Amino acid sequence: MLTAGQILQLIRDGTCRTRKELIAYTGLSRSTITERVDRLIEAGYIHESGFAISGGGRPPSVLDIDATKRLVLVADLGASHVRVALTDLAARSLVDEHTELRIDRGPEAVLSWVRQAFQRLLDRSGRASDQVCGIGLDLPGSVDHASGRVIRSFLMPGWDDHPIGQTLREAFDVPILIENDANAMAFGEWWSSWRRSRSLILVKVSTGIGTGIVLDGRIYRGVEDAAGSIGHVRLRESDDRVCTCGSRGCVASLASGRALAADLGRQTSREVVRLVQAGDPTAIALTQEAGRTVGIVLATAVSLLNPSVLVLAGDMAETREHYLTGIRESVYRRSLPFTTRNLEIVTSTLGDRAGIVGTAVIVIDHVLSPAAVDAAFASPPTTNVV
């Protein structure tokens, strides 16, 4: 006997669109399917959205996720910025807010701003806090998903082992998920544009360098939540430049936005982007060489995982084709032709919204999972929607 949560999953992934299809697919009786569907409608998980084509008689009602009744709050934290958004269950932003805020100011200052910004979003949208069914936050560090704590980050001094979820739960008693930023961005890109692809690699190049990997529709994190740490692969151990991790010759110390800014006598990766966009020949040459350097490591990743899509994201994706051209040169030169013949190497389609979308979808997948939905039905009613 399939549960209401499992029935919801069949509707959500498009396997079944009507009650008739649910009966045929599951083999359950009409009365059982009617009971499950009615419970899901009454709880606001699904609604009827038009009619399917009828083979004769009354057209069947199409069942679809009700994306409007429940809301998700999301925060995307970078090295020098914070973006927050209130989304529906289709990951569409209803309102958002952005500020320049350095993450190295520490968790108290940053999370205090995030909590206040979340409340401002609700006030601006006219929505109540009890409509929020989950919260997501992505940041530039490795995360222990069981505890919601940062376990490793070279850009976030003072954040290691900080109870982020507990801090946010003081204001919102809902599930709170914490994710690495590159993972969230990779998942956002896959969900938005590449769901037909079995594997996708995203490399984020901004202040630092991080990589997110999506395999068969799931984020691959590795045994120690450290998958994708290509920024700290050491290419030139004799190089004088010291990486944020303390080693010399790391990819990030050679090819990140911070490294390029230092080479050009600038402060930030955004300044490098502006120089490249203005046609500065030195900035363009250094940017292309940085792309070649990252491409050396990505060629190995392509050979290991054989992805169908390689996405460049972060600030350096805004250098038009210059950084991407360098990546392509190294990947195609250093990989076997049959591993790249169907590989698409592209820039992000979501731009600076990739983290918001990816994190929202991660939360939505959690709160609409069969286990979470069935647990909500089993729990006594509360003031929260879920």
pLDDT digits (tens, 9 = 90+) for 197-222: 999 999 999 989 999 999 999 999 98
Whether 151 and 143 have beta carbons less than 8 Å apart is answered as yes
Predicted local confidence at residue 52, as pLDDT? 64
Pairing of strands 176-180, 344-347: unpaired
Which tens digit of pLDDT belongs to each residue from 150-161? 887 778 888 988
Question: Does the pLDDT at position 169 exceed 90?
Answer: no
Question: What CA–CA distance (Å, rounded) separates 61 from 47?
Answer: 9
Q: Which residue has the tokens 């950084």?
A: 323
Whether 3 and 370 have beta carbons less than 8 Å apart is answered as yes
Kindly give the residue spans of alpha helices, DSSP state H, lying in the chain.
Answer: 4-12, 19-26, 30-42, 107-125, 164-169, 181-193, 251-255, 257-263, 269-277, 281-305, 322-334, 337-340, 354-367, 370-378
Collect all residues with Cβ–Cβ distance below 8 Å to 127 and sequence separation of at least 6.
71, 86, 94
- 57-68 average pLDDT score: 85
Encoding tokens for residue 366?
Answer: 């959690």
Which tens digit of pLDDT belongs to each residue from 104-125? 999 999 999 999 999 999 999 9
DSSP string, 252-311: HHHHSHHHHHHHTT-S-HHHHHHHHHTT-HHHHHHHHHHHHHHHHHHHHHHHHH--SEEE
Whether 377 and 341 have beta carbons less than 8 Å apart is answered as no
Whole-model pTM: value is 0.91
Whether 293 and 231 have beta carbons less than 8 Å apart is answered as no
Question: What CA–CA distance (Å, rounded) separates 21 from 285?
Answer: 58
- 24-49 average pLDDT score: 94
What is the H or E stretch that residue 200 is in?
A: strand 199-205
Encoding tokens for residue 13?
Answer: 């992934």
Residues of the chain with pLDDT > 70, as a percent, come to 96
